[in-house]
Structure 1
Amino acid sequence: MKELILVIAKALVDHPEQVQVDVKDDDRGTIYELSVHPEDIGKIIGKQGRIAKAIRTVVTSASVKSQKRVIVDIMS
């Protein structure tokens, strides 16, 4: 899942070398914290959060087999 988030995020930003994903397990499920260069935050979030929502939808759909809740947080 981490690799999926990295591939999607690196394709969207101007500074792909600064894309990082940290994984944390919580009582809510698995949390993926996506960090990008400050100039690229808008490109990851998109207009009205559409790109962020699309990323979350793809990751949630890919995690259906694991039957574990997956949360994608975008860190600034």
Structure 2
Amino acid sequence: MADDTTQGLDRDFIEYVVKLIVENPDDVFVERTVDDLGVLLLLKVHKDDMGKIVGKQGQTAKALRVLLRIVGSKNNERVNLKIVEPEEA
């Protein structure tokens, strides 16, 4: 498990990258939870930005997950990313 200095670097990293991709960076929210399976990051973005985050055939989402796996392995953590569908108003 990572020490206190690396705690949350994965969350900060994915938030930074996603904010560079989307049109509505103020609507990016990342929630980090830790359990027996590792780290789970829940990503919420503006509904208009979902297509950019998922990408064609899920390529962008897959790339984000690969990058998180690399960041996690550097800190001896298993990091998973779940992209949350925005709720319709």
Q: Same fold (TM over 0.5)?
A: yes
Structure 1 stretches of at least 4 aligned residues deviating more than 3 Å after TM superposition = none
5+ residue gaps in structure 2? 1-9
Distance 1:73 1:26 in 2: 15
Alignment partner of 2:15 out of 6, 13, 18: 6
Distance 1:27 1:47 in 2: 32
* CA RMSD after TM alignment: 0.8
Distance 1:41 1:26 in 2: 27
Bigger Rg, which one: 2
Q: Structure 2 length normalisation: TM-score?
A: 0.81
In the alignment, which residue of structure 2 is the partner of 1:43? Answer: 52
Percent of matched pairs sharing the same residue? 37
Alignment partner of 1:25 out of 34, 46, 68: 34
Q: Does 1:52 align with 2:84?
A: no
Per-residue CA deviations over 1:22-48 (Å, capped at 9, x if unaligned) read 001122110000000011111000000
Tell me the CA shift for residue 63 of structure 1: 1.3
